[in-house]
């Protein structure tokens, strides 16, 4: 059975493209344009890796990760963002994420990170 991937990004095109790409790697992919959509539709203990955009209107990526941790979930999270500011890669690890990838994301790099996260 294939692994679940959740994508939260306010840019619909990015969601669809990443979904298309990841499906070629046989992932089950669900996309959400806001954090609220994700929380409303995915149980905190449902298995699967989360690709999380940092810069979003409303609840941003950092806030989503805080809520996930607060809910007691152990879901692996990979931050993706166009900007690499505020020491994003270091901060991502500090808040318990698997890693940080800068957009545009290379498909193979992303898949390697997802696979690495799923193994642990």
Partner 1 sequence: MKKKIIAVTPKKMKKPLLKKISRINLEGQIRLLTRDLNVIKRQLKRGVSREKLSKEKFRGEVTQGVNREKLGADREKQGADRERLGADREKQGANREKLGAGRERLAEEQFRLQTDEIELKDGQLREGADREKLAEEQIHIRTKAMEATFDGIFIIDALKPDFPIIYANPSFYHLTGFTKNEVIGKNYFLLYGVVDNLHALEEIKQALLQGRSFQGELLNSKKNGEKFWSLLRITLVRDKNGTVTHYVGNKTDTTLMKQRNLEIEEQREELLHVTRVGKLAEFVSSLAHEISQPLTAILSYAQAAQRMLKDREPQLQEVLQYIINDDQRAAEVIRRLRYLLKKSKPTFELLDINTLIKDTITLMMPHITAKNKVIKFESGSNLPSIQGDRIQLQQVLLNLISNSLEAMESSNDSRELVISTCLKDAGTIMVKVKDSGCGIPEENKLKLFGHFFTSKPDGLGMGLSISRSIVEAHGGRLEAENNPDRGATFYFTVPVYMKKGQ
Q: Which residue ranges make up the site for partner 1 (CB under 8 A)?
A: 11, 13-14, 16-18, 20-21, 23-25, 55, 82-84, 102-108
Q: 8 φ, ψ to 5°? A: -120, 110
Least CB distance from residue 41 to partner 1, whole Å?
Answer: 22
Q: 46 φ, ψ to 5°? A: -65, 130
Question: With respect to partner 1, which residue has the nearer C-beta, 48 or 107?
Answer: 107
Least CB distance from residue 72 to partner 1, whole Å?
Answer: 31
Rounded-to-5 percentages of helix, strand, coil across the chain: 40, 20, 40
Question: With respect to partner 1, which residue has the nearer C-beta, 25 or 39?
Answer: 25
């Amino acid at each position: 059975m294939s692994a679940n991937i959740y994508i939260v990004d306010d840019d619909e095109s990015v969601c669809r493209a990443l979904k298309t790409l990841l499906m070629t790697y046989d992932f089950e992919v669900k996309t959400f344009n806001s954090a609220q959509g994700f929380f409303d539709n995915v149980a905190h203990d449902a298995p699967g890796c989360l690709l999380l955009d940092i810069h979003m209107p409303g609840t941003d990526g950092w806030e989503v990760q805080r809520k996930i941790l607060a809910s007691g979930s152990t879901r692996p999270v990979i931050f993706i963002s166009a900007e690499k500011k505020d020491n994003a890669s270091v901060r991502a690890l500090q808040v318990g994420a698997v890693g940080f990838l800068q957009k545009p994301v290379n498909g193979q790099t992303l898949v390697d990170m997802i696979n690495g996260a799923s193994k642990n």
